[in-house]
Structure 1
């Protein structure tokens, strides 16, 4: 007699489905394989430097699938990821200028009581006189107001009222007494009456006759004024009763910090006919998740002005979130064409962007020029292993991937703020980039697709999974019913076979 073996087909189907899902997940998130990334760029290292940095080009930023840069790696020649950290790029140095201000001496009586390191200037009578083409500032006390007693220089005034830019630091042009530390105090006032302290420093000049090997001067020659605005102010420099001759001071002014130059990439806009024949509403799908700092929109034509709103979302099931509003224009003023600046988005990470024109305007006659701006980012790494080194970015399914970045303090021994900006800069060879599926139109030219009003890919996938699950359950129920019927028939036929 043949013995039938019942095959548990539902269990087999479920196991196969789980195995398939696991295989797909592993294939789409294999972060340890350079070949799994969308772009791979050769990196040329600086010579003889274990710690280096590399600036991320636009070709990398427009392929990242994680807003936290989790799908970014730097591999050595053996295909191993190297230790790395993420850092912002350094701001451009602020331009500086030097201004030399002459010193106007402040005179006082030689019999005035003084304290160490300071001059008793409060409550004194102050006047400014012109003497033989020179301005002299004189102070009088009740005991010397009516008589010309022996006078000494107690300090000096500097006229800083004309300085337009903040002052970063100042250096004194002064002769010091030998072998005596001198404390200089710097104060500011708008009316020569009420003074507020700014800074102080101690300078010392060694006696060359007694100590010929000693350095000429000790102390902080540059007095830090912390970018203080001195427009409309006087400066007062005092040094007690030391025998000091102050001829003037050099002040270093600095402009506001120059913003870091952003990384830019243009959008390859589809024709306006693909935007649902709606000239006032452009909905674009972005193929990356990198945070966008700003959006530059240039309308077509000449002498055009359109108020717009920019909204964003990550998938079609989400409501639109407003990101910014501005007026975009392009017009000729004074014989020169002028265009509106970029619209700040504040580092938004969205996969769909909507540009809405004001309904009171005709909208866009053609698709506008749109450029994306990203904040500059650099990768700090340890060049471990042998070359060649490869920068890889863009990994499917990396939205929730774990970050591979170390803290800068762990990567750089004895780390100090902004120390990464002094590391040697490695170079990326974008021209030799290996891009999966071929490069987009023009390297950093991002292909933006118009979003249709049909079912989104996310919804289609979810509905497909739902339908497949229902079909699998129906198949499992049918197989169970069939097995049950076969078992009942075998049980009914068993006594006949025994007889």
Structure 2
């Protein structure tokens, strides 16, 4: 029975080793470009050892690790290059807007020395708004009154004020000093700006000397009045143009179109994502015209998990005055999920057809050291990378004497997305994301692994049966 025991031991070892061998054979090698789902040619900027590369949608829609661990950059010798992962710097845009402000004359006694320490009150006179000095004394006859300045209502201005342009008629040959002040209560004033204007020629409509635009240094004017005074000069101020300026920092997101998923129910659309890259937003546009659907977007990573609410929104497509309008993206805040469900409000007809879906990703970039010879290749997407560790270095290790955001000043390499090499010749080449059903059976890799495990168990059972049969045929024999 020694031979049978040895055979039994070998069979036991083989059955126990089968899963490990199957996993080892199935695990891709992250050090080889051929192991990745997609390979994209990279063109380097000339004469720059350190460069950066903005990741294209073709790479983002194939990553299987939410931390971008299955991403590499190879040279012609197949060597991975040292690299770091960074966000793309936001682009700052300045938006200016002009606001016309009407001027309400401030009238008071002709003998008034100035407006300091005096409060104002607004009156209506024959359909015209007039600002009157509140001196606490008796009323001043109209014949003894003069225009001492003007009041502008800036309470509705919410954006920072950049400058104020005066629209005024000036006396000829007389320098005029203008002062602009602000107040919330028409009593306590603070100075904002001043200028001196001079009109030399009576035929000139504006001042020939001085600048009639006063810089306001981005002051906040919400809930404020403006007061403009000009001393004893005879000035007709018709109004002013206030220029507001607002700076916005935005990142141009990377987009990929999803093939239309199968719609089996007008109030529910469920599909799987073939990648793990965090999704910033979904742009969901209903089919048809004049359609409005309140929706909820839910997500999960496994069919055994409960659905989690990611966002609620109203999506629409409408035509007004011959111009089509569509809803903006539904923000998902960088959710990394493998299955998504879109629920339409049951109080509406829902979707007549699957809506158009565009995936949006926050832009990311690789900062790398261009070592070795070209051509260079960006590789993305490993079949088994859930627990993979990325090859990213700290930015301070890659860039000598690193300073914050220094990577954004590096030369920019480019990718040629027209020459994408997809493993297996997948028809989903490019940024188009194939729609997948979340109920599509067991993955091929799991089937292969279960088949190997089952074969090992059958081999072990067969050997046990052979040993048992031989033992019964030769009773009483020793080992």
TM-score, L = length of structure 2: 0.68
How many residue pairs match? The answer is 379
What aligned pairs does 1:362-373 form with structure 2 within 5 A after superposition? 362-373=349-360
SS in 1 for 2:425: coil
Offset at residue 474 of structure 1 (A): 3.7
Mapped pair 1:327 → 2:318: no
Q: CA deviation digits over 1:248-305, x for unaligned, max 9?
A: xxx9974242321111111112443xx3xx2322111211111111111111111111
Say if 1:230 and 1:51 are closer, same or farther in 2 by CA, change over 3 A.
farther
Q: Which secondary structure does the structure 2 equivalent of 1:14 belong to?
A: helix
Match of residue 166, structure 1, among 135, 160, 169: 160
Q: Using the TM superposition, give the Cα deviation of residue 47 of structure 1 relative to its aligned residue in structure 2, in angstroms.
A: 1.1
**Cα distance between partner residues in 2 of 1:391 and 1:468:** 39
Out of 252, 260, 264, the position equivalent to 1:261 is 252
Q: 1:166 to 1:462 in 2, by over 3 A?
A: farther
* Structure 1 contact 160–231 (Cα < 8 Å) conserved: no
> What residue is the counterpart of 2:49 in the other structure?
50
Q: CA separation of 1:4/1:311 partners in 2, compared to 1, >3 Å: closer, same or farther?
A: closer
TM-superposed deviation, 1:28: 2.5
Alignment map for 1:227-266 (pairs within 5 Å):
229-231=220-222, 254-266=245-257
How much does 1:11 deviate?
3.3
Equivalents in 2 of 1:56, 1:266: separation in Å? 16
Deviation, structure 1 residue 90: 1.3
Rounded Cα–Cα distance in structure 2 between residues aligned with 1:65 and 1:349 = 10
1:400-479 aligned at under 5 Å gives the runs: 400-441=387-428, 443-452=430-439, 471=458, 474-475=461-462, 477-479=464-466
3-state SS of paired residue (1:415): coil
Query: How far 1:43 sits from its partner (Å)?
Result: 0.8
Please state if 1:77 is matched with 2:79: no
User: Do the aligned partners of residues 398 and 296 (structure 1) sit closer, same or farther apart at CA in structure 2, a change above 3 Å counting?
Assistant: same
Deviation per CA, 1:396-450: give whole Å up to 9, x if none: 1011101111111221222222211111100111112211122434511111123
CA contact (8 A) 1:313 1:351 kept: yes
Report the equivalent of 1:285: 272
Q: Distance in 2 between matches of 1:381 and 1:168?
A: 41
| Residues 458 and 12 of structure 1, relative CA distance in 2, 3 Å threshold | closer
Unpaired runs of at least 5, structure 1: 100-123, 129-158, 170-186, 199-222, 236-250, 493-499
State how far apart, in whole Å, the 2-side matches of 1:258 and 1:442 are. 33
Matches of 2:274 and 2:425 in 1, distance apart? 15
CA distance in 2, matches of 1:27, 1:457: 11
Give the secondary structure class of the aligned counterpart of 1:255: strand
Q: Give, in angstroms, the shift of residue 491 of structure 1.
A: 3.5
More displaced 10-residue stretch of structure 1: 434-443 or 347-356: 434-443
Residue deviations 1:187-221, cap 9 Å, x none? 997569879999xxxxxxxxxxxxxxxxxxxxxxx
Tell me the residue number matched to 2:477: 490
Deviation at 1:53, TM superposition (A): 0.3
CA distance in 2, matches of 1:96, 1:359: 41
Q: CA RMSD in A?
A: 4.0
Shift of 1:26: 5.1
**Matched-pair contact (CA < 8 Å) for 1:160–1:230:** no
Take 1:65 and 1:378, find their aligned partners in 2: how far apart are those partners? 17
Matching residue of 2:199: none
Counterpart CA distance in 2 for 1:8 and 1:442 is 50
Separation (CA, whole Å) in 1 of partners of 2:153 and 2:55: 44
Whole-Å separation in 2 of the counterparts to 1:295 and 1:380: 28
Q: Is the Cα–Cα contact under 8 Å of residues 303 and 438 in structure 2 kept in the other structure?
A: no
1:76-475 to structure 2, matched below 5 A, reads 76-95=75-94, 165-166=159-160, 190=184, 229-231=220-222, 254-272=245-263, 275=264, 278-441=265-428, 443-452=430-439, 471=458, 474-475=461-462
Q: Is the 8 A contact 1:93 1:258 kept in 2?
A: yes
Moved more, 13-22 or 427-436: 13-22
* Structure-1-length-normalised TM-score: 0.65
1:110 is matched with which residue? none
Deviation per CA, 1:457-487: give whole Å up to 9, x if none. Answer: 7986787677567646644543553464466
